[in-house]
């Protein structure tokens, strides 16, 4: 019929909980997932696999994310002049706070793929409690670790965030400064958490890195898993 038209809208893949989840990872997790703990050296294939597989999802995204940029400008008075030290790039301070969700919710969203069944990490379900445990354990990981190759590696931490400033997402690379989990008897069903994270590098996400992580249900993520499930060292 003349005059009719259709509008197609395409958006970012949302998981069953209805949002694009923040994700977190570490260099140690990535090496254990795709490089057999360091026995397989860095290579383009492991980098691609890390972008799609070596990430944990948050159960519920944080309620508040604050990025604080420091602009260092100092003056030094000498006997005959004033010396001004102008701004230069500094690290970014990120403050994150939120709730894990209802603690009574049990594990859900199991990865039923062959790769997921073989891998212990991917086969573990996600839930509010498990999410908090994984995030806290990753924050407590030492910043240096010795891989199976016998070499000491820098265990940098990564967080993918989607905010109003960065609707397409960015990867925050750095380290945790502190991690706090306050509990009270006023609310017995949810648990709050806050942490501060120093961002050493803030980079946009590629198409592959934008895929959901270990608990993804998107067709694209399943294709990536199917294509990489036979790669040496991939769990």
pLDDT of residue 211: 55
How would residue 224 be classed by pLDDT, with cut points 50, 70 and 90? very low
177-187 burial: b if 16+ Cβ within 10 Å, else e = eebeeeeeeee
More confident residue, 173 or 232: 173
pLDDT of residue 226: 47
Q: Is the pLDDT of residue 3 over 50?
A: yes
How many C-beta atoms lie closer than 10 Å to residue 14's C-beta? 13
Q: Is the pLDDT of residue 189 over 70?
A: yes
Share of the chain above pLDDT 90, in %: 27
CA angle 45, 51, 55 (to 5 degrees): 130
Q: What average pLDDT does this structure show over 187-210?
A: 86
Report yes or no: 175 and 198 within 8 Å, Cβ to Cβ. Answer: yes
Mean confidence (pLDDT) of the chain: 76
pTM: 0.71
More confident residue, 47 or 212: 47
47-65 burial: b if 16+ Cβ within 10 Å, else e = ebbbbbbbbbbbbbbbeeb
Among candidate residues 19, 21, 17, the one with its CA nearest the CA of residue 213: 21
Q: What average pLDDT does this structure show over 89-109?
A: 85
Task: Select the highest-mean-pLDDT range: 134-138, 225-229, 231-235.
Answer: 134-138
Q: Where are the chain's structural domains?
A: 23-224
pLDDT of residue 87: 73
pLDDT of residue 213: 53
Report yes or no: 197 and 96 within 8 Å, Cβ to Cβ. Answer: yes
More confident residue, 135 or 150: 135
Report yes or no: 197 and 220 within 8 Å, Cβ to Cβ. Answer: no
Q: What average pLDDT does this structure show over 220-229?
A: 45
Among candidate residues 32, 69, 66, the one with its CA nearest the CA of residue 49: 32
How would residue 177 be classed by pLDDT, with cut points 50, 70 and 90? very high
pLDDT of residue 62: 93
pLDDT of residue 112: 53
pLDDT of residue 90: 83
Among candidate residues 130, 146, 133, 139, the one with its CA nearest the CA of residue 198: 139
Q: Is the pLDDT of residue 89 over 50?
A: yes
Contacting residues for 89 by C-beta, under 8 A, at least 6 apart: none
């Amino acid at each position: 019929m003349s005059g009719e038209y259709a509008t197609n809208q395409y958006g970012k893949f949302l998981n069953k909980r209805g949002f694009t989840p923040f994700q977190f990872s570490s260099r140690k997790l990535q090496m254990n997932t795709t490089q057999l703990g360091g026995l397989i050296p860095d290579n383009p294939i492991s980098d691609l696999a890390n972008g799609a597989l070596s990430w944990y999802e948050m159960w519920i995204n944080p309620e508040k994310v604050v990025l604080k940029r420091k602009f260092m400008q100092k003056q030094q008075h000498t006997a005959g002049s004033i010396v001004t030290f102008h701004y230069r790039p500094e690290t970014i301070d990120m403050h994150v706070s939120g709730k894990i969700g209802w603690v009574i919710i049990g594990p859900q969203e199991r990865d039923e793929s062959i790769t997921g069944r073989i891998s212990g990490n991917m086969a573990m379900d996600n839930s509010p409690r498990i999410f908090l445990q994984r995030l806290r354990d990753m924050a407590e990981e030492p910043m240096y670790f010795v891989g199976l190759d016998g070499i000491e590696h820098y265990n940098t931490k990564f967080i993918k965030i989607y905010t109003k400033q960065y609707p397409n997402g960015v990867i925050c690379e750095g380290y945790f400064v502190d991690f706090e989990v306050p509990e009270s008897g006023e609310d017995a069903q949810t648990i709050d958490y806050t942490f501060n994270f120093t961002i050493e590098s803030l980079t946009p996400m590629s198409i592959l890195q934008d895929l959901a992580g270990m608990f993804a249900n998107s067709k694209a993520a399943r294709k990536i898993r199917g294509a990489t499930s036979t790669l040496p060292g991939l769990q």
